[in-house]
Amino acid sequence: MEVRCSICGRPETVEKWSEAHERLRQSGGPYVCDACQRRVQRDALQSSRTPRPL
């Protein structure tokens, strides 16, 4: 199964038995690759620590 990362647009092959496919199925949302997922998590941590500029 070919999916495309909704953030960087990189196409990736996700096997039906893989952890990523299971995660995708459960979330039902758009696919986000590992690299972007890590970046999003890191950004979320940082934005919760530092006040957002208005």
Residues near Zn ion, by CB under 5 A: 5, 7-8, 33, 36
As a whole number of angstroms, the distance between CA 47 and CA 40 comes to: 10
Q: How far is the CB of 6 from Zn ion (least distance, A)?
A: 8
Q: How far is the CB of 20 from Zn ion (least distance, A)?
A: 12
Whose Cβ is closer to Zn ion: residue 9's or residue 53's? 9
Q: How far is the CB of 54 from Zn ion (least distance, A)?
A: 29
